[in-house]
Copies of this chain bind each other. A is one copy, B any other.
Amino acid sequence: MLSNARSVQEDEFGHNGGMCDWLGDGRSARIKMGGSFTTTSERSLETHGHLFMIGDTQTHMYQILEGVVGVYKMLADGRRQIVNFYYPGDIIGWAVPGAWTQHAEALCKTRIRSIPTSTVDTLITTERGFGKALLSMLATELEETRDQLLSLGRKSALEKVATFLLRISRRNQREDNDEGLLHLPMKRAEIADYLGLTIETVSRNITILKKTGIIHLESNTVVRITDMSQLEDLADGDN
């Protein structure tokens, strides 16, 4: 299900040997790190393992190699808002320096590469274009977060669920996977906490999409989109 992310063998910590490629096309900025810094390390997390907790000092940036991580905030009484899901290739962490202001939890077995912030700092001054790539990455994430604001603030439950599914589909497209076949590694509770709904409401609305013939559930975690344009209309509030 999750693509096998193998470690890339590279030369030592010199500069330009392709060790740090970045694609800054703006729309989908991504930093590809060859895994070739002396200071870079890998680690694994079990389901529900925490990558970091609120208040922890930020020592690293993280790149997901395999699995999914949910970053979330909480209220005093336990209400939770998942702020984003991170998939293989995604990077967590150019945040406001200091302590983390949210939690990050693995939603399934997950493998992660850690890059010390000091290394990142160095690269910004060392590597031409690295800083710009980070800017682009952050700008993209801000843009997606704003789309999510629109979703949470103004869309109905059904529209939210449609938007969520479409987002995964679009991601598949970018990664050259089947845009019609979605794998949802997270549970309904996590989708609910991402969409600002309850488990029951998420479930009910998935059922509606199913009965309308817009999607088909191959299993609880595998969804096939059977009417993409209707799904898009729903997500855009076109009706």
Contact = CB atoms under 8 A, between A and B. Distances in A.
A102 B146 contact: yes
Nearest to A75: B237
A143 B196 contact: no
A174 interface: no
Contacts of A152: 149, 152-153, 196
A154 B155 CA distance: 14
Contact of A154 (B80, B94, B136, B140): B80
Nearest to A93: B139
| Tally of this chain's copies | 2
A151 to B, nearest CB: 9
A206 to B, nearest CB: 18
A63 interface: no
Contacts of A94: 135, 139
A118 B57 CA distance: 36
A26 interface: yes
Interface in A67-119: 73, 75-77, 79-81, 83, 94-98, 101-102
A180 interface: no
A167 interface: no
A2 interface: no
A165 interface: no
A153 B96 contact: no
A42 interface: no
A96 B149 contact: no
Contact of A132 (B29, B75, B131): B131
B135 A195 contact: no
A148 interface: yes
Contacts of A26: 96-98
A208 to B, nearest CB: 19
Given A73-B147, A81-B149, A154-B196, 10 more contacts: A75-B155, A79-B154, A79-B155, A83-B146, A96-B140, A96-B143, A101-B146, A134-B135, A142-B142, A142-B145
In the A-B complex, the 4 residue pairs with the smallest Cβ-Cβ separation, listed nearest first, are A153-B196, A75-B237, A152-B152, A81-B150
